[in-house]
Amino acid sequence: MGTTDDGEGLVIAGEEIGSRLIMGTGGAPSMHVLREALTASGTALTTVAMRRVDASARGSVLDVLAECGIRVLPNTAGCFTAGEAVLTAKLAREALGTHWVKLEVIADERTLLPDPIELVEAAEQLVADGFAVLPYTSDDPVLARRLEQIGCAAVMPLGSPIGSGLGIRNPHNIELIVERAGVPVILDAGVGTASDAALAMELGCDAVLLATAVTRAQSPARMAAAMRHAVEAGRLARLAGRIPKRRYAQASSPFEGLATS
Amino acid sequence: MRVIVNGKPRELPDGASVAEAVAAVTTAASGVAAAVNDEVVRRSAWAATELREADRVEVLTAVQGG
């Protein structure tokens, strides 16, 4: 038994991804800060959004990812309907040359929670069109199972709303999803600090996707390193098998042979 | 003729191609995709695809997000 990971890497849609920490790029104050954070995170897969070209934009996030040797994962952030998400995914495939997509179909701007009806509709269309679909979903175990049955390459339940930093509000549901899943489970959204990422892995998630917790931290590169260690620590703890929780103490020193007065 | 490129009206010569509409908003050589009236037009077909009056052209690229 090794003292590191068991050698089974993260495999999504038949391809091995070299890190269980998937990063987002949103919120970084500059490309320089983003580059430092991505490097410190050790990530091998990182999301970008698709938007109308802006001739005044300086520096490309694609250049940063290419320099760092990080695979790009386009998302459909900002889409409210299946139709918008499918078109955005197809544009991303054409622009970036990848058939992988982080599928986001949100219900409203206040909560940014997934719209499950539109999400399933978009997932069905994209899977049928040959995409490897990684859907951002609620922490509903039934919805996660339906997304897997449709043919999604992973399921990505939220811990709490995007950017909220509230951590994992329903660890029980995440465990239920993990128990039944036949595809990788990636905890997506809500991570606020390193212990949240560690908990996700302890619950049995295969990976963690986060952005804001790093990019808006006071020291993004330092927090990125913390997340890298947290994901590794949580993964090791999961593999190691934690002790059961007990109601009363269990002495770790023997009672025999005590000095008596 | 008048077409809508990324939400803004633009005057282009009659029979202008998708390539000309894209060139009106970006000089990027890669990492860009275009759709006309919600249908993706492959880059290889940009030059040969003619636009019509009132067509809606979307030209997207990757930005920080997610």
Q: Looking at residue B28, what is its pLDDT?
A: 83
Q: Looking at residue A2, what is its pLDDT?
A: 55
Q: Which residue numbers of A are catalytic?
A: 102
Q: Is B63 strand, coil or helix?
A: strand
Q: Given B43, B60, B64, which is nearest A53 (Cβ)? A: B60
> Taking CB atoms and an 8 Å cutoff, what residues of chain B touch A52?
6-7, 25, 58-60
Put simply, whether B32 touches A (Cβ < 8 Å) is: yes
Per-residue pLDDT reduced to its tens digit, A121-141: 999 999 999 999 999 999 999
Q: Looking at residue A60, what is its pLDDT?
A: 87
**What's the mean per-residue pLDDT of chain A?**
94
Whether A52 and B65 lie within 8 Å, measured CB to CB: no
Average pLDDT over residues A89-102: 96
The proportion of chain A whose per-residue pLDDT surpasses 90, expressed as a percent, equals 88
Binding site as annotated, residues of A for 1-deoxy-D-xylulose 5-phosphate? 163, 189-190, 211-212
Per-residue pLDDT reduced to its tens digit, B8-65: 999 999 999 999 999 999 988 789 999 999 999 999 999 999 999 999 999 999 999 8
Put simply, whether B66 touches A (Cβ < 8 Å) is: yes
Q: Given A55, A74, A93, which is nearest B25 (Cβ)? A: A55
Q: Where are the domains of chain B?
A: 2-61
| Token digits of residue A133 | 């679909």
> Taking CB atoms and an 8 Å cutoff, what residues of chain B touch A34?
64
Q: Looking at residue A1, what is its pLDDT?
A: 47
Residue with tokens 């940063």, as numbered in its chain = A64
Q: Given A26, A55, A102, which is nearest B64 (Cβ)? A: A26
Whether A211 and B66 lie within 8 Å, measured CB to CB: yes
Which is it for strands A45-52 and B56-64: parallel, antiparallel or unpaired? antiparallel
Domains annotated on chain A, with CATH: 15-240 (3.20.20.70)
pLDDT at A7 over 60: no
- Give the minimum alpha-carbon distance from A25 to chain B in angstroms, rounded to a whole number: 5
Which is the CATH superfamily of the domain at B2-61? Beta-grasp domain (3.10.20.30)
> Taking CB atoms and an 8 Å cutoff, what residues of chain A touch B61?
50-51, 53, 60, 62, 95
pLDDT at B7 over 70: yes
pLDDT at A3 over 70: no
> Taking CB atoms and an 8 Å cutoff, what residues of chain A touch B35?
87, 90-91
Q: What is the 3-state secondary structure (H, E, C) of chain A?
A: CCCCCCCCCEEECCEEECCCEEEECCCCCCHHHHHHHHHHHCCCEEEEEEEECCCCCCCCHHHHHHHHCCEEEEECCCCCCHHHHHHHHHHHHHHHCCCEEEECCECCCCCCCECHHHHHHHHHHHHHCCCEEEEEECCCHHHHHHHHHHCCCCEEECCCCCCCCCCCCCHHHHHHHHHHCCCCEEEECCCCCHHHHHHHHHCCCCEEEECHHHHCCCCHHHHHHHHHHHHHHHHHHHHHCCCCCCCCCCCCCCCCCCCCC
- Give the minimum alpha-carbon distance from B14 to chain A in angstroms, rounded to a whole number: 24
Per-residue pLDDT reduced to its tens digit, A193-229: 999 999 999 999 999 999 999 999 999 999 999 999 9
pLDDT at A97 over 60: yes
Q: How many A-B residue pairs are in contact by the CB < 8 A criterion?
A: 100
Q: Looking at residue A12, what is its pLDDT?
A: 96
Per-residue pLDDT reduced to its tens digit, A14-49: 999 999 999 999 999 999 999 999 999 999 999 999
